[in-house]
Chain A
Amino acid sequence: MIPGMFDYFAPSTLEEATRLLEQHGPDAKLLAGGHSLIPLMKLRLAAPRVLVDLNGVAGLAGIEERDGHLRIGAMTRHAQLEASELISDRYPLIADAAAVIADPLVRNRGTIGGSLAHADPAGDLASVMTALRAELVVVGPRRERTIPIDDFLVGLFTTALEPNEVLSEVRVPSPNGGSGGAYVKLERKVGDFATVAIAVQLTVRDGTCDEAGIALTSVGPTNLRARQAEDSLRGGSLDEQSLRAAADLAAQEAQPAADLRGSEEYKRDMVRVLTLRALRRALERATR
């Protein structure tokens, strides 16, 4: 399969990239890891007339903790997240997810920025960032702005990005003790999209739940925040009964559609089961 024709630009700075986007408007697409975009182009489901390749842009990849935030450059590859000791030590939710995105070869190319900007509700990292209440730094030709993940994910394959903007960085609040997270994914085989996957982040203080983040993958038009489930936990004691109640709420909040991976009923029940597992694992990590 051969993609349609396009003009190719490989800028070396973010300024140059946004200038190219400004110049070419909606005809242009950004190329990050390419592992969603290139398959779509090969199937001719996408046919951008201009590709602006971010792979040569300096300073867009990297993982560091600074000023109370974990900062992940948009061009950081999934394999880099998976290999990072900082991530595995302090951000178990990200570490869990990074190890189960697609397959190891795809993880050598795929990027966090590309995954979030693609906004496929079956994408793993958008759920992770929803549970972690991340903010995304977006750079345009004239201004930089920060968008909370909930406002960034607008709909199916749709984000709040303007055509001339580049997602440059993901910012996650650093945990300050008593936090733990987990990502639990049900997939038919390595490399398949999730049938259902659940991201959970809990903060526990003096035995009660200070903050809860719960997000659902592959069961809605976007990655969904399970608000009622989160609300039910906040301020409570996180005993087994409350975890079960939250998992039931998450299942009610899911909006699954039947497809070759399962019926609506099956997926909804899997949301319940996997949310409970993710909550237990996150709690264990938060209180360890």
Chain B
Amino acid sequence: MTSINVTVNGTEHQADVEPRLLLVHFIREDLEMTGTHIGCDTTNCGACTVLLDEAPVKSCTVFAVQADGRQVMTVEGLAQNGNLDPIQEGFREEHGLQCGFCTPGMLMTSYALLEQHADPSEGDIRKAISGNLCRCTGYVNIVKAVQYAAQKKAGG
């Protein structure tokens, strides 16, 4: 077992973990935060996307020990004091989800995009989410949801 200290959504968690424990399993099973989904489990679908030191990564393909001393942000960290983040509001307003399984990953990737790039073009958005698969094929509304959030963040 290896002792790790990981800050998740601003809260520090100390845990003793097996090195083979995947970050997504640490988040879901040890911390019992099940907002992060496991989709394909093969680094394809992006449902498990979380931010690791602000960069969106597939948490099924990172070991929990690799997050030692680092910052993780999950979908549970988006809303502040009960208020949805603009990206969440965008997905609600623009019907950016159908079954919702890909949504946590889509939200984290889109959130990271808007942190880097306040005014992305449609092409920028499509490129950014190209590692997140939506099997309901709801990409048009997902793009609209991200555009909504960008406008909202810009004060529009």
Contact with A along B1-40 (1 / 0, CB 8 A): 0100000000000000011101001000000000000000
Question: Does any Cβ of B come within 8 Å of A38's Cβ?
Answer: yes
Interface size on A, residues (CB 8 A): 29
Question: Does any Cβ of B come within 8 Å of A145's Cβ?
Answer: no
Question: Do A104 and B41 touch (CB < 8 A)?
Answer: no
CB distance from B69 to the nearest CB of A (A): 9
With a cutoff of 8 Å between Cβ atoms, the chain B residues found around residue A51 in the complex are: 19
- Best-surrounded residue of B49, B60, B61, B131 (most CB of chain A within 10 A): B61
CB distance from B27 to the nearest CB of A (A): 15
Question: Do A104 and B2 touch (CB < 8 A)?
Answer: no
Give the docked Cα–Cα distance between A109 and B61 (Å).
9
Q: A2-B20, A2-B22, A38-B62 are in contact. Are A103 and B41 (CB under 8 A)?
A: no
Identity of the chain B residue whose Cβ is nearest the Cβ of A33 in the assembled complex? B61
Contact with B along A94-131 (1 / 0, CB 8 A): 00000000111110110000000000000000000000
Interface size class of B (residues with CB under 8 A): 20 to 34
With a cutoff of 8 Å between Cβ atoms, the chain A residues found around residue B41 in the complex are: 1, 42
- In B64-122, the 8 Å CB interface with A consists of 65-66, 68, 109
Choose among B19, B66, B68, B130 the residue that contacts A104 (Cβ–Cβ < 8 A): B130
Question: Does any Cβ of B come within 8 Å of A8's Cβ?
Answer: yes
Contact with B along A1-32 (1 / 0, CB 8 A): 11111111010000000000000000000010
CB distance from A198 to the nearest CB of B (A): 22
Q: A6-B19, A8-B2 are in contact. Are A53 and B66 (CB under 8 A)?
A: yes
Question: Do A108 and B55 touch (CB < 8 A)?
Answer: yes
3 A-B pairs with least C-beta separation: A103-B131, A8-B19, A105-B131
Question: Using a CB–CB distance below 8 Å, which chain B residues touch chain A?
Answer: 2, 18-20, 22, 25, 41-44, 46, 49, 55-58, 60-63, 65-66, 68, 109, 127-128, 130-132
Question: Using a CB–CB distance below 8 Å, which chain A residues touch chain B?
Answer: 1-8, 10, 31, 34-35, 38-39, 41-42, 51, 53, 55, 79, 102-106, 108-109, 190-191
29 contacts between A and B (CB under 8 A): A1-B41, A2-B22, A3-B20, A5-B18, A6-B20, A8-B19, A8-B63, A34-B61, A35-B43, A38-B22, A38-B61, A39-B61, A42-B41, A42-B42, A42-B60, A53-B66, A103-B130, A103-B131, A104-B109, A104-B130, A105-B46, A105-B49, A105-B132, A106-B131, A109-B57, A109-B58, A190-B130, A191-B44, A191-B130
